[in-house]
Each structure stands twice: as structure tokens, then as C-alpha cells.
A and B are shown apart, each in its own frame.
Chain A
Amino acid sequence: MSIWLKNISKSFGSDLVLDDITQEIPQGSLTALLGPSGSGKSTLLRIIAGLEQADSGRVELNGRDVTSVAIRDRHIGFCFQDYAPFNQLNVFENIAYGLKVQKLPKAQIRREVDDLLALVRLEGFADRYPRQLSGGQRQRMALARALAVKPEVLLLDEPFAALDAQVGAEMREWVRSLQHQLGITTILVTHNQSEAMEMADQLIILNGGKVEQSGKPADVYEAPANPFVLSFLGPLTTLNGVSLRPHNIEFCEVGQGSKVQVVDVLHLGFEVRVTVTNQDNDRTWVQLTHDEARKKNLQVGETAAIRQRSNS
């Protein structure tokens, strides 16, 4: 199911949160709404879900105008950052909630919930209560609960922000493969650019209630439309007053580039960060691979030269 957002604006009091957003989210895609906090991304997600009403503009699902359709009739799965578990219900009852609303026969509910428990790898947890689950398990329960009613669209609000780094990385990979397997149109809200780059087929970059740029992650990264996108989508440094990515700088023979002094070398595994200063004491940091750094064998205090890589 494709989603069309047409001229959506929203204010809270005198605060314009969304300013004339028009955007298509293609069928079956995983789209990331990416932006800093206060960019309006969560509000936009809530408007798509019907949890919030836009002041103007329309939301269309597969060509059907749902702007004034109630939440319960939109066929949307929504997962909150805190997973919003129903704490008084156990895992089975949580997942069965939407099916019970549809008044399905008991045997069918049991069968479908069992299938969902297997899908989200929570077999054996049916009788647990949400408080007895880990963060990752709670998130999978919330996903199963949302998927139970066979929504046409899945909306995820900062789904990995509350998880620790390792579990978050596992869940990202798992959610992405689940989305591919099910082919359900999914929108993910995040402020984390690497999360968005890693997961999404399409990025929509929001800032101050406006779309700064949208497109495939690689395209947006390679050809940022403006300084905001450039700075938001990856690390930046300056060389002779020009902003550029730190991996687009290389060390060269003295005389072929700007003369600098090495002030710090940080080994981060595959990545090595070298900080240098020029004679005016302007700092630049350079991102090298482990192999490159080993070949150069840079030492703190050493004099070297850097230049922009020719292929960038």
C-alpha cells in the first residue's frame, strides 16, 4: 500500500511543526523519516496514524483519502518508542487484543497468536507479563501485536532508541528482514542517521517542519541537496575553510598538500581517526581505514601533508 501525504501542515499554538509536507511513500518500502528532535517527524507519523489531525492537507492510503477516517478504521500498525505494553495483560493477551476486538473465534485467535509468537521468536513466553520481558522481547511483542490485525501500513516511532547498542543492532537487522519477508509498507521515525541509512530503502529528511531532501540513502548521501543534509547525514570536518567528509581526505607527500602536524591518533578498530592542525592551529580530522593508517604509521607530533581525495 502506498501512502501519499499532500500539503500537510500542523501547528501547536503559534508553533508551526509541519510546513506544507508533500511526499509519496512507495508500496512495500521501508522509509525512514529522519531528522533532529523538534523537526516534526513524530508529529507527521502520528498524523499518518490518525493519532493527530493535520490543520490542513490530506493523507491518502492507496488512493483512498483517510484524512478524516478514525484511527481504528485506518488499518495501521503503530509501535511506540516505549512499546506501550498492556501491562495488565500477558504476552498472549497483548497480541490477541486486536483479534478479540474483531470477535474472531477463540480457536482461530489461538492459532494466529501462536503463529505470531513464532514469527517474533517469543514461543514459550505467552504467559509472561510485559514487565518480565527484556527490552528487545517487549519490542517484538509490540510488533506481533501490531501485525496481528494485518495492517496495511506499519509505523514505527523511534523503535530502537530505548535498547542498548548491541540489542538495538540485532533488532535493526531483524526488523529489516521481517519487513522484507512481509513486504509491508513501513515508516520508521528516527533521529539516528546511521540507523536510517542501514535500514531504509528511502530517506525523508525533515528539518524545522520541512522536507530537506528525500530519496535513496546512497543518492542522498552522495548528493546532499543543501548544507543541512550534508552535515546531518554523516561526519563533517573542514579543510582550508571547506566542509567535507573526513573520509574524503588523504595523507600525501609533503609539498603536494597542506602542511599539518598530527595531534591525535585514535584506533577504533576498522576506523582510525587522525586529528591534525595547520600553522593557524585550525583542526581537521581525517578518517582512515586500519590498513591505510598502518601503512602511514603516523605518530603524534609528526609533520605531514593532507589533501582532498581526487575521486571526491
Chain B
Amino acid sequence: MKRSRQALRVAVLTYVGLLIGLPLFFVFQQTFAHGWSALGQALNEPQMDAAIVLSIKVALLAVPLNVIFGVGTSLWIVRHPSRFTAVLDRLIDIPLAISPIIVGLVLMLAYGQNGWFGKTFAAWGWSIMFSYPGIVIASIFVSLPLVSRQVIPLLREVGTHAEETAATLGAGPVRIFFTITLRSITWATAYGVTLTLARVIGEYGAVLVVSGNIALVTQTLTLNIGANFDNFSNFQGFVGASVLALTSIIILSMLSIARHRERKRHEYLA
């Protein structure tokens, strides 16, 4: 019994190590392979810095929009169920099932210069594709269900009794939303935000199609990393990859610390 558990442990560690640990180690190892001054130079490379700034800008708009949409649709689906919301509930998952490259192509069809909506926007002087709005739309599309998939089960679990009680105590809908509803889904939402953030800054395929991948203009960090490897600037690519990996690790650690704190606050007194 004990031996089989140990064998399982070794097997799992080997599997995870080979798939995640080793490549991640390799990325960081390559990043520091040429010493600090080379690293400093690579970090100051203008194309990569522009790409980092663009990725941050995209995340700053896409993540909040996704949170508002995600929490809103979750409330709608759970609290006002109908045939329409049942369809919506299933539609939300589509972005997870479609390959990102297809998402990019579909957005191109819709919002490109000759696209169904794109023509209208172009007539107003707005260009969606090959620019910031297009990248944001693609990012929102691919991360659409990540908040609501966290929030919906929790909303179902907490039920409506606390909200109804607040109403009998004289609270209006806005106060109830902020003091009761939102506070009960805070951590699920935070987890959804983390997943969305990770997906948005990590997205490659859909953004590649809609952005045009123009260095210094519409190149996000992931696209910049890809471009560097394509141009045989492997070291620059590894530095970018390290920045991206480090960001993800920081985001995940922040969440796990926050979760731990919250759990501690609610622990039973012995």
C-alpha cells in the first residue's frame, strides 16, 4: 500500500517535471545563460518593451470587460433562468471549443475592411482589425467563459436567501448587490480574473490573425516572442518568455495567498 503510493508519487512528479518543470527551467536557464549585462540589454530592447506595454494595455481593457460581462451573464443565467439563458449558457463555452486561429479568422470576416460590420465601421472612419480594438475583441472572445464558469456554480450554491433577507432589512437592489452578492462571489470572480488575465496575455493564435503582427504597433508580448524565434533571435525570445512565465507565476501566487488568507479567516475555532 505504502510502496504503491510512493510509486504513484514518483510517477506523477516525473510526468509533471518532464512536461512543465523541465521546459520552464530551460527557459530561465537560457535567459541567464549570457550574463546580467546581456539580459539587461535584452530587457531594454524597444520592440519587446513596446510589446509588453501593448499586452498590458490589452489586459487592462479586456479583463474588466470580461469581469462585467461574466458576472452579469452569470447572474442572469442563475437568477432569471429561461429558455434563452439555457441557450446562452451553452453558447458561452464555444470560445473554449474553437481553435483560436478560427476565432481570428471569424473576427476578420466580421470586422475586417470588407467584413459584415467592418464596412460600416470603416465608413465611420474606424478600423477594428490590425489595431488595438481588434486585439481586445479577440482577447475577450477567447476568454469569454472563464469568469462565468467560476461564478455560476457558486451563485447556485449560495442561493437567494441572504439577498432576500437583506431586502427585508430595508436594503435596495444596488446595496444588496455590493454588500451581499458581490462579496459572496469575490473569490470565484478573482479566480476567474486570474484565468482571464493569464489567457489574455498568453493568447497567440487569434491575436496573430487580427493584429497583423506589426512590430512596435500591434505586436503583443506573445507575438514578439514568436517573431524573435522566427528571426533566430533565440536569446531575445527566451527573455520575453521568462517575462511572460514570471508574470503568470506571480499572478497565480497572489491568488493562492489570497485564497489561503480568506480560508483562514473562515476557519472554525477549535
Binding site for B on A (CB under 8 A): 49-51, 71-74, 76-78, 80, 82, 84-88, 97-98, 101-102, 128-129, 131-132, 142, 145-146, 148-149, 151
Contacts and interface: CB of A to CB of B under 8 A. Distances in A.
Interface size class, chain B: 20 to 34
Interface in B2-37: none
Given A73-B170, A145-B169, A146-B169, 10 more contacts: A50-B168, A71-B167, A78-B165, A80-B161, A84-B161, A85-B162, A86-B166, A87-B162, A87-B184, A87-B266
Interface string B255-270: 0000000000110110
Nearest to B168: A78
Given A86-B162, A88-B184, A101-B175, A129 B266 contact: yes
Contact of A98 (B169, B172, B269): B169
B171 to A, nearest CB: 5
Interface of B: 159, 161-162, 164-172, 175, 179-180, 183-184, 186, 265-266, 268-269
Contacts of B179: 86, 97
B155 to A, nearest CB: 14
A72 B167 contact: yes
Contacts of A49: 168
B154 to A, nearest CB: 12
Contact of B170 (A80, A82, A102): A102
Contacts of B169: 72, 97-98, 101, 145-146, 148-149
Contacts of A74: 168
Given A88-B183, A129-B265, A132-B269, A51 B164 contact: yes
A146 B169 CA distance: 7
Contact of A72 (B170, B186, B266): B170
A272 B186 CA distance: 56
Given A87-B184, A88-B184, A80 B165 contact: yes
Contact of A101 (B164, B171, B183): B171
B268 to A, nearest CB: 6
Nearest to B173: A72
A80 B165 CA distance: 8
A297 B208 CA distance: 93
Contacts of B161: 80, 82, 84
A49 B160 CA distance: 15
A71 B175 CA distance: 14
B28 to A, nearest CB: 39
